[in-house]
Amino acid sequence: MSRRVAYPYVGWMAVFVAAPLLLVAAFALTGADGGFTFSNFADMLKYAPVFGRSIWLAFLATLICLVIGFPAAYAISKEKPAVAAAAVAMFMLPMWMNFLLRTYAWMSILEHNGLLNQLLNSLGLPSLNIINTNGAVVLGMVYNYLPFMILPIHTVLHKMDKSLAEAAGDLGANPAKAFLRVILPLSLPGVLSGVTMVFVPSVSTFVISKLLGGGKTMMLGDLIEMQFRGNAYNPYLGSAISLVMMVMVLVSMTLMNRFGDGEESAVMM
């Protein structure tokens, strides 16, 4: 009986997850003549700079989110429940707005005659050329995906037994050592979840790079969209790039999960 309850879910996954993935794989291994080929993967080599740029900018955005998000999550976890709930709500509030609207708002802020440069000019400072640069793309990623770093870390820290840090202090550990030896290792599951939730959408984004990068910063998402909707229409190459990107994401997630399991085992020992 319990297996029959799972049948609708299995059917849903087969139709809307497995079938599209198989279709992408089939297109990736098909040439323009309809025959089997690996040439689509060889054609990807000319886009190696796009792969490198996407991974590098996604790494930078993830690192910045971690540097900002961990202290914020740690500070929130130390507050009273009412204050912590209000702080989490403040981080979540922008997420209630449409993703495109948030990105367009940053265009108005960063453009040459935008709010930021108007403020700087009113203070007698020179204007900044941020829009249509890699920095603007990273800034857009950090702004849009920072809550995905804070929330999992805060959840783990909030559920952590506070007596563990107190016990470390009773055993002679100073606050810094208690943090490094107790709190930080136990928070790694939340850190790894946050890293995954930020890196994966960052490496595949195309809206942020198109709006804030002005089309000058091509990333994997832009490259895939170009193969399906641009003048260089080539769904076979686009499917090959999508398949490689999915493999990259799965490999990175597997490595991070194994690293997290190893750290948890070491802490338990």
What's the mean pLDDT when you consider all of the chain? 87
Q: What's the pLDDT score for residue 150?
A: 94
pLDDT band at 267 (very low <50, low <70, confident <90, very high): very low
Q: What is the pTM of this model?
A: 0.86
Tell me phi and psi for residue 215, to 5 degrees.
Answer: 80, -5
More confident residue, 34 or 136: 136
The answer to whether residue 69 is domain-embedded is: yes
Helices (H), 33-47: 39-43
Going by pLDDT thresholds of 50, 70 and 90, the confidence category of residue 7 is confident
Residue 268 has pLDDT above 70, yes or no: no
Query: Domain containing 175 — which CATH number?
Result: 1.10.3720.10
Residue 260 lies in a domain: yes
Report how many domains make up the chain: 1
For the stretch 72-91, pLDDT in tens is 999 999 889 899 999 988 98
* Domain assignment present for 16: no
Q: Has residue 32 been placed in a domain?
A: no
Looking at the chain, list the stretches that DSSP marks H as alpha helix, in order from N- to C-terminal side. 2-13, 19-28, 39-43, 48-77, 81-92, 99-110, 115-122, 134-159, 162-170, 175-178, 184-186, 188-204, 207-212, 220-229, 235-268
Residue 28 falls within a domain, yes or no? no
Question: Which of residues 216 and 99 earns the better pLDDT score?
Answer: 99
Q: Does residue 163 sit within a domain?
A: yes
Domain membership flag for residue 79 = yes
- Binned at pLDDT 50, 70 and 90, residue 243 comes out as very high
- Whether residue 192 is contained in a domain is answered as yes
pLDDT computed for residue 163 by the predictor: 80
- Out of 50-54, 139-143, 161-165, pick the least confident: 161-165
Range of the domain at 156: 47-268
Give 195-213 pLDDT, tens digit per residue.
989 998 999 888 899 899 9
Residue 260's pLDDT is: 57
